[in-house]
């Protein structure tokens, strides 16, 4: 019995020694991996203090903290334009009279320096009429990390769809279609650059509007320069709930089609005037993308479209909204391989817009024909080419979706 006890105790002690040694080895490996990944990330990140970084970003002006503090009236709460995931944006006026938007990055944000550098490097490389312009920034030695953009004075698309500016009803279907066209063109431009740029946070709150409702796509904190010779980049999914590509979220593979999915959500927001996520909706409709695809698939587009757009009464609106819904349905496909490219999306939207403009010229003749048909029916006559009232009143569902 004693010998058995001795053997048991000996085996138990050997087991403990082995386990402790194994744990130390694993701990060492984890620490090594963490150190390597951290140093790699640091070495790959541009050095904000280096002259070469600013030379590459040649269009960037360096502002002092004091200059921007004065421009924003001490970062007054009354100058706040809004806040995003990485900072608060303030309205300001520079000493030369230029109106600007100043982003003040959150101090507690874990990767604020990375976002700061990312926006500087990307926005300094691009120039497009529908992309917000970066005027400059502070240095890393400054009291705070600040980015200075052109000021766009008419809020964001989501403001006008269902936010603080929605009550004025300014966003007609014609304006919404133009917003879709110009946003698509801006994203297509980014995707065609060498190397391409993936925005990675396409949403209505990142689409700014000026007083003439011209589009300015903003917020490049999450954007990525995409290698030209690869099909995807493996990275942890980032973005805004309701807009994130589900295949990217599941497989951790970022491609240009991830932007296409997010833009599909923007399209259904423009059609419906509903937010991308609303927990007050039924469970299967909390996510607008799911709600939209189900309604389009079930031939119920008329229940989904914003009633103020004239969808039930205007045949031309009906026809173009149906075409945009068809395009949105394609963009929201789960399989990224079957989604169109951003360039194809932009071209399709331009064609829809051109058809609307052409139809508007013929609209008076169409309305006259409609009135004459109604008059003849009232007199008990029928037109040689009668216009079917049901065709005018019933929603047009894209044939490829039904």
Where b means 16+ CB within 10 Å and e means fewer, 107-141 reads: eebeebebbbbbbbbbbbebebebbbbbbbbbeee
CA dihedral 363, 369, 370, 375 (to 10 degrees): 150
Structure tokens at 241: 């709930």
Contact at 8 Å (CB) between 162 and 274? yes
- According to DSSP, the residues that pair with 304 across neighbouring strands are none
Asked if 382 and 227 touch (Cβ cutoff 8 Å), the reply is no
375 burial (CB, 10 Å; 0-12 / 13-18 / 19+) is: exposed
Burial class (CB in 10 A: 0-12, 13-18, 19+), 143: exposed
Q: CA 306, 172, 371 angle in degrees (round to 5)? A: 85
- Separation of alpha carbons 385 and 172, rounded Å: 31
Cα separation, 386 vs 399, whole angstroms: 23
Q: Cα–Cα distance between 245 and 257 in angstroms, integer?
A: 8
Whether residue 269 has a cis bond before it, omega within 30° of 0: no
371 is known to lie in a ligand binding site: no
**Cα–chain-centroid distance for residue 309?**
23
CA distance 339 to 265: 13
- Catalytic: which of 159, 201, 256, 306? 201
Half-sphere exposure of residue 293, counting CA atoms within 13 Å on the CB side? Answer: 16
- Residue 389 among the catalytic residues: no
* Residues with active-site annotation: 201
Please enumerate, by residue number, every residue annotated as part of a binding site for ATP.
Answer: 103
Please enumerate, by residue number, every residue annotated as part of a binding site.
Answer: 103
């Amino acid at each position: 019995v004693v010998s058995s006890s001795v053997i048991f105790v000996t085996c138990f002690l050997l087991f403990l020694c082995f386990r402790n040694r194994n744990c130390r080895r694993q701990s060492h490996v984890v620490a090594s991996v963490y150190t390597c990944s951290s140093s790699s990330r640091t070495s790959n990140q541009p050095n904000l203090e280096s002259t070469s970084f600013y030379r590459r970003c040649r269009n960037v002006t360096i502002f002092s903290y004091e200059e921007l503090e004065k421009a924003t009236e001490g970062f007054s709460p009354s100058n706040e334009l809004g806040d995003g995931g990485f900072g608060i944006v303030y309205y300001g006026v520079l000493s030369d009279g230029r109106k600007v938007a100043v982003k003040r990055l959150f101090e507690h944000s874990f990767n604020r320096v990375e976002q700061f550098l990312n926006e500087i490097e990307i926005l300094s490389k691009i120039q497009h009429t529908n992309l917000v312009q970066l005027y400059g920034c502070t240095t890393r030695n400054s009291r705070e990390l600040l980015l200075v953009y052109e000021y766009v004075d008419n809020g964001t698309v989501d403001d006008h769809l269902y936010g603080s500016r929605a009550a004025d009803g300014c966003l007609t279907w014609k304006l919404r279609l133009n917003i879709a066209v110009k946003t698509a063109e801006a994203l297509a431009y980014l995707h065609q650059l060498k190397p391409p740029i993936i925005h990675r946070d396409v949403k209505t709150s990142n689409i700014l509007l000026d007083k003439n409702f011209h589009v300015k796509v903003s917020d490049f904190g999450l954007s990525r320069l995409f290698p030209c010779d690869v099909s995807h980049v493996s990275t942890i999914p980032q973005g805004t709930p309701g807009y994130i590509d589900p295949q990217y979220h599941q497989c951790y593979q970022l491609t240009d089609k991830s932007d296409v999915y997010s833009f599909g959500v923007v399209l259904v927001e423009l059609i419906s005037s509903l937010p991308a996520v609303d927990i007050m909706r039924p469970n299967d409709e909390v996510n607008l993308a799911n709600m939209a695809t189900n309604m389009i698939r079930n031939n119920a587009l008329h229940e989904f479209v914003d009633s103020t757009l004239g969808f039930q009464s205007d045949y031309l609106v009906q026809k173009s909204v149906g075409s945009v819904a068809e395009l949105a349905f394609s963009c929201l496909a789960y399989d990224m391989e079957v989604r169109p490219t951003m360039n194809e999306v932009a071209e399709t939207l331009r064609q829809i817009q051109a058809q609307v403009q052409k139809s508007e010229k013929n609209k008076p003749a169409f309305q006259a024909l409609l009135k004459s048909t109604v008059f003849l029916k009232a007199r008990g006559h029928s037109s040689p080419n009668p216009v079917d009232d049901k065709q005018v009143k019933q929603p047009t569902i894209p044939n490829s979706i039904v």
